[in-house]
Amino acid sequence: MRLKKPDYVCQHTFLPILGQDSVVFDFGANHGEFSHAIISRYGARVYAAEPVPELFRSIKRHPNLSLLNVAIGGENTTLRINVFADRCASMLEKINDDEAAEAVDIECLTLANFKARAGVQHIDLLKVDIEGAELWLFENLSEEELRCVNQITVEFHDFVYKELHSRVEAIKRKLMASGFWVMPFSRDNTDVLFVNKGLRLSILQRLWLRVAVKYWRGCGRLLKRQFKVLPRPQAG
């Protein structure tokens, strides 16, 4: 497979091997930025889940976008999430007692149940940004369920909840054992790509992705911080 430069949308890295026939799942759609970027760039069909009612209502509708006002997790149940005032909603507890949060009960679906509602079997790209519930989701997925996905781009949340780090590392090992290459594009697990080995990337392609792209992007971020672009002087 000829490999192009990875795409990067909403702090998620993935291989740009998508087209009009591709199926993309967007778990944790927020305002819909990721979903609409995928539709605009690739013309793909996107199925999105966003649990927070206010955010769900804010997502712009599109013929290629199917939306469900649900949470995603490890079982089909009713889930209580905390809608925080200053950060994204989460099923996890407050970091400290001073945080303001409103509790909302919402329907929660497994990956299998979400797929059934969408009426699809294979997923070309799965984006997961569900504020800590990703651990519950992946810990309950079978190898069979994972094999139906080509790529998974995940923001883990052990950078917020430090006690989750060992579970994040266990999930990485689980996906490796389930037939995925693990490609971290960040130091804090906020941008981790899992690529199904069925895509048959060569050793050189994997090395380029894991090393060259990652560190080139890191150098770019460092240079931006060191040499900030000054505003142009106003005319007159």
Choose the weakest-confidence range: 63-72, 110-119, 227-236: 227-236
* Residue 232 in this model has a pLDDT that exceeds 50: no
What pLDDT is recorded for position 217?
59
Please report the domains of the chain, with CATH numbers, ordered by start residue: 7-199 (3.40.50.150)
Looking at per-residue confidence, does 229 or 94 come out higher?
A: 94
* Residue 22 in this model has a pLDDT that exceeds 80: yes
Residue 179 φ/ψ, nearest 5 degrees = 100, 30
What pTM was estimated for this model as a whole? 0.86
What pLDDT is recorded for position 236?
37
The share of the chain scoring above pLDDT 70, in percent, equals 81
* Residue 30 in this model has a pLDDT that exceeds 80: yes
